[in-house]
Structure 1
Amino acid sequence: MVHHAPRGQELDAEQREAGRLLFAGQCDFTAAANNMPALPPMGLPEICFAGRSNVGKSSLVNALTGRRMLARTSQTPGRTRQLIFFDLGQRLGLVDLPGYGYASAPKTDIEAWTKLTRKFLAGRQSLQRVFLLIDARRGVGKGDSEIMKLLDESAVSWAAVLTKADKLKPEALEKVCRATEATVATHVAAYPELFVTSSQAGDGIEHLRGHIAGFALQK
């Protein structure tokens, strides 16, 4: 099995330990919302995960927290139709957004939760960063580009995260990494570092944990 090193700046031991402690602590489901009035009140700083259907959002949340069933995973794209909120040790809010694109659901349902997601991304003041997940096997797609544009227009900080990196050979992965980095570099609200992960192999998980810990309330 090939393990891919994270790209960009390496975390120091203190950052890695901060990430380990944050995600090893309590992590509780707090709310599920399918409309704006159902959103929980803003309190903790929040980060969220966005991406097309079946990109691996739930698997990544589970890998980060070390809990297999925290976020529901499904082989059927589009099964997560709500915004799912978690509380990470009363230090950080974690939000799993509905997937976009190719969902096996009625068109009106897709439009409703796409609209909700857009409203959330554009108007949630407690949101510190959006992690936009991109399937390494597909690269940046039309839906991803639309979300990138929305985040830029809303001045919401976001970072690209490649998922399923273990599914590609090193040469192919390097090619998609370079292409994704080139796209990211054209967006004003984007964090410059590309995170390369595999929930199954564990690649990049420690690095991403350490980065996310920087947004948590310090104790």
Structure 2
Amino acid sequence: MRDPNQRSDYPLFVRPWIFIRGVPSMDFLPPEGPLEVAFAGRSNVGKSSLINALVGQAGLARTSNTPGRTQELNYFVPDGYSGNAGDLPPMALVDMPGYGYAKAPKEQVDAWTRLVFDYLRGRATLKRVYVLIDSRHGIMKNDDEVLTLLDKAAVSYQIVLTKTDKIKEAGVPRLIAETLEKIKKHPAAFPEVLSTSSEKADGLEELRGAITEAVKQGL
């Protein structure tokens, strides 16, 4: 259901969005067309909740309290596009499988990892990855490993802190400063850290603006 009270300076985010495809392997990727921005992060970091909050549609991206629920690349586009040549949406949002879920079977983890990183290395229309970091934990070992891989793949990415409502408000600027210091060694990292709360709707407009600008630069 769309939030009727949502307001934004970025009209694309207040129109209806739809789920178009789940991609379990590279063979099922949609044809390259619209520019793509993807959301990565540890399992249960709040990727699906953040996507839903960005577009004001509860239930667009499936959310779960069970880590590892998202096992595919899930594609979302603004409603009203046929997908035919000449009728492509201006961009697509991609919800990527979470990483770092230790309880999943190794074969499953390996399959997810191959899918995600094959996508990162081989998708020409991918313009930026938003790497979500839980504010309660900061950048952890698994996160740093992913940032290093993104550097090697030369994929532009930006850090987005999630669940800032779960920590003291005074701690947010300090966490942003600490995170900026940690990403200095990562050449593909965008030198600005965003902070968000899906529950409180904090930082969503700033993230919409960042996504819009990234897509404009990719045109």
Sort the TM-score into its range (normalised by shorter chain). Answer: 0.7 to 0.9
- CA shift, 1:187, in A, is 1.1
Which residue of structure 1 lines up, in the alignment, with residue 150 of structure 2?
A: 151
Task: State yes or no: 1:53 paired with 2:43.
Answer: yes
TM-score (norm 2): 0.87
Mapped contact 1:92–1:217 kept (Cα < 8 A) = no
CA displacement 1:114-158 (0-9 Å, x = unmatched): 111011111111000000000000000111111111111111100
Q: Which moved more, 1:171-180 or 1:122-131?
A: 171-180
RCO comparison, higher one (Cα < 8 Å, 6+): 1
Which residue of structure 2 lines up, in the alignment, with residue 73 of structure 1?
A: 63
Task: State yes or no: 1:25 paired with 2:24.
Answer: no
> For residues 1-219 of structure 1, what are the structure 2 equivalents within 5 Å?
17=9, 19=10, 21-88=11-78, 90-102=89-101, 104-216=103-215
Paired residues in the alignment total: 201
CA displacement 1:5-25 (0-9 Å, x = unmatched): xxxxxxxxxxx62x2x01112
TM-score (norm 1): 0.87
Query: Secondary structure in 1 aligned to 2:61?
Result: coil
User: Structure 1 stretches (4+) deviating beyond 3 angstroms?
Assistant: 215-218
Mapped contact 1:152–1:188 kept (Cα < 8 A) = yes
Query: Secondary structure in 1 aligned to 2:76?
Result: strand
Gaps of 5+ in 1: 1-15
Query: Secondary structure in 1 aligned to 2:138?
Result: coil
Percent identity, aligned pairs only?
A: 48
Distance 1:156 1:97 in 2: 15
Distance 2:171 2:16 in 1: 38
Distance 1:122 1:147 in 2: 13
- CA shift, 1:216, in A, is 4.2
Q: Which moved more, 1:56-65 or 1:85-94?
A: 85-94
RMSD over aligned Cα atoms: 1.6
- Residues 103 and 57 from structure 1, CA distance in 2 versus in 1: closer, same or farther, beyond 3 angstroms? farther
**Which amino acid letter does the alignment assign opposite residue 83 of structure 1?**
L
Distance 2:157 2:132 in 1: 10
Mapped contact 2:127–2:215 kept (Cα < 8 A) = no
